[in-house]
Structure 1
Amino acid sequence: MSSRLSLIVPLIVLSLCLAASYGLRFGFMEDGQWVGLCAEQAQRWECQLRAGLGLMIHFRLLAWSALAAALAGFLLPGRAGWGLALAGLCLGIPALVLYTASLAVFAVVIAGLRLVRR
């Protein structure tokens, strides 16, 4: 794989991850339509998914997963470490967008440092 392609593919993946995270936050979690609908009909599968995502945000599962993957990627050498750091970054970006910035910022910085290290 050329060096240019190895730079472009992760940037595209991270851009899609960021766009999906903002879409999930503003289109599903904060949209007034879903708030009102889920207050009336909490048994709908969409509302159950929204509640599960709320619990995942509350317990900071994305942020802790991102931090664990970033730390493991930082410590592991070679391609495995690079892949884990990319996974940590892909988990850390949604954690930043979805209300757990205080913990996820460390995961993003650690993963970013690992990705630029040779």
Structure 2
Amino acid sequence: MSSRLPLMLLLLFLPLWLAASYGVRFALMEDGQWVGLCVEQAQRWECQLRSGLGLMIHFRLLAWGALAVAVAGFLLPGRAGWRLALAGLCLGVPALVLYTASLAVFAVVIAGLRLVRR
């Protein structure tokens, strides 16, 4: 197995993860149809998901989680640090897209630096 294979797979995965995050943002969070529908039928699973994501955005849970995991991954040596940095990056990308860019940008940069470090 090539030593560059995990990095190449990561570079293929990240655009897909970014597109999925934007899909959630524009199809679920910003689409006007959900506002009226969720007022009438708040018990639908889509409305519950939208409400939960709204609370996570409000309290910046994704961004803080991404930052904590990315810093832990940056500090830990070896494969464990690389995996934590990958988890921090996977949390940081949706946090960037979902309105908490001020914190998430640090998590993404720290995780990215750890992922390319030997």
Q: What TM-score do the two structures reach when normalised by structure 1?
A: 0.94
Comparing 50-59 with 10-19, greater Cα deviation is found at 10-19
Shift of 1:3: 2.8
Aligned-partner residue type, residue 11 of structure 1: L
Q: Does 1:76 align with 2:76?
A: yes
Deviations 1:6-30 (A, max 9, x none): 2211112212211110000001110
RMSD, aligned CA = 1.1
Distance 2:80 2:94 in 1: 22
Distance 2:62 2:12 in 1: 21
Which residue is equivalent to 1:57? 57
Shift of 1:98: 0.2
Identical aligned pairs, as a percentage? 85
Which residue is equivalent to 1:20? 20
Which structure 1 segments of 5+ residues have no match?
Answer: none
Distance 2:103 2:24 in 1: 20
Aligned-partner residue type, residue 3 of structure 1: S
Which structure 2 segments of 5+ residues have no match?
Answer: none
**Number of aligned residues:** 118
Shift of 1:116: 1.3
